[in-house]
Copies of this chain bind each other. A is one copy, B any other.
Amino acid sequence: MVELLSKVSIRVNEKVYLKDPESSELGRKIVTRSIDLIDEMGFESFTFRKLGMEIGSTEASIYRYFESKHRLLLYLTSWYWGWMEYRLVFTLANIPSARERLRLAIGLLTDQVTEDSDFSHINEVKLSRIVIAESSKAYLTREVDQENKEGAFLGYKKLVARISTIIMEINPDFRYPHMLVSTVIEGANHQRYFADHLPRLTNVIEGEDSIAEFYKQMVFNTINP
């Protein structure tokens, strides 16, 4: 899989960038180092000026790739959902049982990302931390409707749709598949954040992945009581 992946790149909707960052050395550096910086200092403190200094370039050059730092965040989150869908397709290939496919899918969405797959210039461990702490800010803005029209959230929606399909295979009468899947994705991210910062809002049990465990229980009991 790693070999195959090394020949593949995740496509991000072209509306979120001005110039494809995959198309040049500078573009890839912008992406790689922005992930480092946002992970270190948080999205609020991150600026194109700081990034420029880090990569030995300038603000102006970065603006040729991304219209704003918000668009860069859209790029990073879109890439992440694209990557997730990619992993999902491979993970579920040739598994006949729908229940087993759903189990694997929930695992993928809720397990902690602990290994950098190393098939790109993107560090997925750091990126997953960014998604946990910052991805809500990608859509909680006044520009959400416009950006949605432009397709900025297609990757997320495709992922949700794909898993909803599995749920409908298991129980065609279940009325809220999209709601359930997006609850799991957002929920798992929030619970990981709570575990680190607001532990009284969650239940982390030493030595087990409670979050993955909880959401598996929740999904199966909800769709097939």
Interface residue ranges, A against B (CB under 8 Å): 41-42, 44-45, 133-134, 136-137, 139-142, 144-145, 148, 153, 156-157, 160-161, 175-180, 182-183, 186-187, 190-191, 193-194, 197-198, 200-203, 205, 210-211, 214, 217-218, 221-222, 225
Contacts and interface: CB of A to CB of B under 8 A. Distances in A.
A179 B133 CA distance: 17
Given A202-B179, A218-B222, A141 B44 contact: yes
B142 A134 contact: no
A135 B196 CA distance: 18
Contacts of A193: 139-140
B211 A179 contact: yes
Going nearest first, the 6 A-B pairs with the smallest beta carbon separation are: A221-B221, A182-B201, A183-B187, A42-B142, A176-B214, A221-B225
B157 A201 contact: yes
Contact of A148 (B41, B44, B156, B198): B198
10 contacts: A45-B142, A137-B137, A178-B202, A179-B210, A183-B183, A186-B186, A187-B187, A217-B222, A217-B225, A218-B222
Contacts of A160: 200-201
Nearest to A70: B44
Contacts of A45: 142
A197 B133 contact: no
Contacts of A41: 142
A74 to B, nearest CB: 13
